[in-house]
Structure 1
């Protein structure tokens, strides 16, 4: 956090000498813009920027009787604060001291106790300066061009011009603004405006109840959800995304204009401009401003339009999920498809003036055109919609969604084009509709004649069937479990019989109570299968409840597969299934609760990744390998997981890894070593080339997934979404280049620190590269992997070129263009591809 940032101002020795004289002559009651390391601020002493735009010093808001140090506008009568240092730790009186101490800035109370400090820096002769931008900086006194610390990196509730809002990926800085608790308490309140940098980056306004408002992704001109965001002669906007940073900023070219973006304590995002003539802050823009700005107002696949009543509507090809609530103007349940997708012959519905759907799990390629984007979406059966990622110059780039479309909105003007996938039958023309009406009319006439003839007979039969149906209904809750038991007995004959399944069946009421009626506070995560909730049983045991959504793409087969496999598997590195719940159309699995949740939630989170020290990472790698060895070799049958990835690795309270999610797993019997399928399931970024391209899966396809996972654990980077200045296509290409250049240790995640074993790191990288070799026969078996990881003396071969899922070798060049081809990898999304017959 003590990184280096370019600065604009220069210090001259004469200037520093003059500043020093100001200290002496004024008895430290001064308003210079610079504080030297030999002096301090206290009481009414302040720093004043050179053009007297901003002032820094001690203040107490309202009648709070609490004291803070911060920055405010100098020439605005109604004092407006833009930054507070000790917002969460106030002084009890005005007798504080602000000074440079131990190569950092420090705030001390009257008893010389440390109240607040900046991060420590490597500086020999530090000075603090307040700039005319409102930025408080720590730098060297010799006038070099570097900021060693700046307040702009640690915002409070206000974004000023030229201030960056978003991520510094090198430093792990998440720069966001959060509201004051109240007008007299600058402590962090309930509302914050943060950038989500996954997928297609966009901002969310968070409240105490979760997501409150979404800006939509940046489309080259503006945020998709802010159509009124147009640059003026005085104000311009910019959004930057590269391998080092992802951030939004704005610039003011008119010196007399003041503008700021603030999160208010009432939960609004407000842009204010100062009007000198009236001496007031004018509300230039704010959000949320209407019903359709509320996050998920119309639910999944629903469209909100504030220009019509009711505001929620379902697009063509969809219908309300809860018609009764929909008619009462509650659209939160959203919509669902009238006709299931067919994959190979689907078409697209063209929607105009749209706010793009929630985009954190979307895939972006800025080098594709719209036609290529459509073809890419058609080839991926999980793709639900596509659009241009940049609408400038007629539109460029591609963004595709591979799951539900959330929080959509349609404007009268603004927004952009969105193409939503529909079954071909839902996109027809007038002639086909007319023919359909005629056919229906003829059919109804024939049907009426038939009904009259068989009405009496049908009535008698229905009475007898009604009794039988009631009996079937009483047995329906046990039917699914019986199927699971039978298939388990078939697959594990000789181990246990039906009576020995020993899988408890929980009733729905027990699970409802344990999860507080599936409350949002208890939700641990959400995937294609549905939601996972934390629960506590009556006896006090904490559990994780996986509730299969009624609209989930994972159906009854995946549910049965998970039960019959994992209920029989016992290993310390496999998640333990405690029971299941099958009641009416509810299907749930109850697991042991994992305190640290999934690996991806820690590994790829810059704020948490430092929790994964190298010993923990190495233990996780070895644990996953042992669990996979058990599946492949040590259990009674060979089990191929087929969806091994970071989100399917759970971490218990001791950071031990446990492999989860066996819905896609398959059993190999006897001497079987390979199988093929027309239904490719798994996650792009982790799939082996032979499985992704030809549907061939084996133990070696799991080994490939493990190799990707190992390299992700070492580097802290995802395989999908990894970009590097040298042009590698993904993490595998980057790791391969570093290995060939003898710079393997450069791959290690910097958040690990300096406490690591070089030999262990290099061994893991070599094992990872061996596992992701292009040819399946070159990859090691799991027994060899475990041996190589556990022994420092084991002989290890040199790896060959990695395989690149759905793409060519990045070190090969196209003969016609001479440019490297880019592979298409989508991580974090489980996909299914159906080949045409």
Structure 2
């Protein structure tokens, strides 16, 4: 008996030694096994690592989980508010089945799960990043005693739930680190508010600073749609046990995370294996309208407008003096108080982020008509909307009190419809009807009706004759215009057809004084309608064959494209031999006027505005290539085709040479080269091959022109050092990028931002199309300051021996529709 008792402890020590030795690099630890500082657990697929780390140069030790591809990307911390000193940390499962972290002083508990198991326990790091504690030694056990996903720190991973668990009373949310080197809980929290349909907030302590908008069955209504989100699926679940938000990965292998950083910004990030860095897909500080309730009660925020805040229709500013100094917090009040018995009605507002649901009620059993009736009968109800748009509008969400934190999106599909209750008088005013009718007016209408009846035959004849003349004009100018007209009536029935007389009056009969631009198609005129609207009218030259093709393309194409970074087509006219396109007027003309103009003009665009313009153009081009209903290759992107609105926001224009691609089409070929010398890619000029990558080449040229203030133009072989692309590449290769900056401006305060944009421009103009990034990658690289950019290869540029040789080369078999950049505008005016 004595000999056996002596041998048993010795064997136990040997067994424990074997267990400890085998733990490092595995994904599991058993009871009485431990992990000490310097050892790690690695998930079965090699995706996540659990071990000890020190953030930055703090010297303090924490137990955490990080991505294997990036050991600086910590996604979970156990002892975040109780750091270890030195390398004394040991993680083990004690005799009671509790997972504990101990260190110096010896046996001091720095963290534990607080769980016990009578039959032992096993801990495992899963490929999801979830660290779980199971009862018993079986790794197939169903229920967890404890899991790290129930105790998130600052990061949300795929499969994790954010929201309240009513069974345990625990609110699963993200809490930012205190700072970059201190993972203890900081000021900022990302959480799901279960009221209404559920909506995420970012809070600074207890103050809301960001709100995504309520869940609508597809997404959160305040989050713009993005094609890159097809790699995710999103879920919000409400039941008696819990309410939670969760996302999953649809395209494996994808590494993604949602993190709330110590500056209070929530970011969705995606790992780019080619660049070995994180790419930002979305952030809560995307624009000024991301600030919670920026415009106050009943105010609407519009990030595209020069003045961000406006009132809902039927409302007026509450404190005009504060509004004048851009303090919008007071918001708006009704023009007319609601009167439940006097015919209140509802006004549809489209493309909106739905208001805060703190004062809302949800009923999923109603359709939209029943929702309207419910709101109408409740005198306290001020608005209603569909609660679920995933399969057609269903469910009902209604609001009482003020409507808080509303914004409007440039893209209707990015927002949602909401119906605002208004007093009868305000509805009639918005619709253009008088609120009261005089008795004599009724009599006058009765008398006038007789005259109308007598003149109806003549009036009908005039209308018929006018339409017949339009049809004759279309037939006269070929079947192409017949197809355009059919397209306008069948496919683009929202596109107005203007009368020639109306446009002639607006442009003073196309007076020379109203000319503001010129191209291969003809002239552009400034016009002003009787209602005060200013427009730009593009008039097709009657003898321009190329212009007819441009007209056909633009009418059919741009009428279907709507984006904040694209010039909006308001209508067209096909009458009496005229083909006219009517666009919104851009008061600040085109970009080339500013970046290639005199010193005064150049200085109007400081570095911050230039970078904003680059990012705006990038987002517009991304929409054309990927996010629009059509997949469009522009083919003539240049500074002269970027117009600037009153706030100097960029808008891409001139779609006459654009081509529509099929969703699976990668490139096309043409023997008719269209575009502008200096912006066309080598493969397009030489072989006639064009694709998204040829547009991206043009974008890269534009980026370098905006930063340098110099044109990319043809030069002789002896002077290739003057060619912008080659010069930019050489300077950056030699770490002299600062020499490329436009010297009419003061040096940028954040040169790193300008340098990033410059390097992205060089990536876009690489000689091989395969080396150039996609527009989605471009937008991510521009927006994410932390990602590591690859080194650009040699740029592509064609070098004829002279400009005359270039012209001869074109005349030998190619046809350029677009002239040199310098004659795009005849004078410096808006368009």
TM-score, normalised with respect to structure 1: 0.48
Larger Rg: 2
TM-score, normalised with respect to structure 2: 0.49
